[in-house]
Amino acid sequence: MGGLSGLRALALAACSVGGLSGAAYSLLNSQSRQARSVIGTPVDAPLNADGFYLPDGSGPFPLAEARDLLTLAVLGDSSAAGLGAEVPEALPGVRLARGLAEESGRPVRLSTHAVSGARTTGLEAQVDEVLLAPPATAVVIVGGNDVTARMGVHTSAALLAEQVRRLLAAGTAVVVGTCPDLGAVMPIPQPLRTVARRWSLALARAQARELAGTGATSVPLAALLSPHFLARPQDLFSDDRFHPNGAGYALAAEVLLAPVCAASGVFRGRS
């Protein structure tokens, strides 16, 4: 999910774009303060469990050389980093690495470069790190913070595509989970939640359009996950009520695993 500090900026943008009255402006501004007070500000950094994962489910083991190895990198924001996961085993990158190892029958080296709070403008630095030793496959989830920072959807999507092309040019297969639906975050009151939802879904569509034809795989996280989060918020959100918990990340990893396996040259159930 996106950052909290930008909710007021999102409210301001909604007012300016929509030409809302002073009363509507006051309402949205008040709602942004209310949402921030209810959700709070995360104080803990995401967990990290980078290393080698074996087909039998064991790991992580210290990073080292291994034979017949698959390499997997995770880039993006807090949704990619796994902020809100209770234990390292629940991190989305860990779930993907273990699933890929099991499906392929090969060890998988996981490296996480995602940064909580990152916007698409910060993706370039993450890609710079990744390209020091290009992995076989990269997973990217980014965009929520662009919404709360009111970055233009076309600008944001174009920046994403630019960095994805850099990864592809280095021989890395790329799977992008497009922007999650911020409208599933129930502590954001209406009508501000509707503004957040429309903006995040517009960004997800723009990201998919920009990535079409690049060779990257787009996975529509909002369409696939939002119904679950809306139906079971108490089960799928962490204590901050904004980021997913381990069960929420399990759902995300479940919809991403098949595309990651395909991008890595592994088909589910066979290598």
Q: What contacts 152, CB < 8 A, 6 or more positions away? A: none
111 noted as active-site residue? no
How many whole angstroms separate alpha carbon 36 and alpha carbon 21?
Answer: 23
Q: Order the strands of the 108-112 sheet from edge to edge.
A: 51-53, 108-112, 70-76, 137-141, 173-177, 217-219
With the C-alpha atoms ordered 136, 77, 182, 213, is the resulting torsion angle positive or negative? negative
- DSSP SS3 for 168: helix
How many whole angstroms separate alpha carbon 257 and alpha carbon 246?
Answer: 16
| Residue 218 β-bridge partners | 176
Task: Answer whether 179's CB lies under 8 Å from 149's CB.
Answer: no
Q: Which of 78, 111, 116, 264 is catalytic?
A: 78
44 noted as active-site residue? no
Task: Answer whether 122's CB lies under 8 Å from 75's CB.
Answer: no
264 noted as active-site residue? no
How many whole angstroms separate alpha carbon 204 and alpha carbon 201?
Answer: 5
Give catalytic residue positions.
Answer: 78, 240, 243
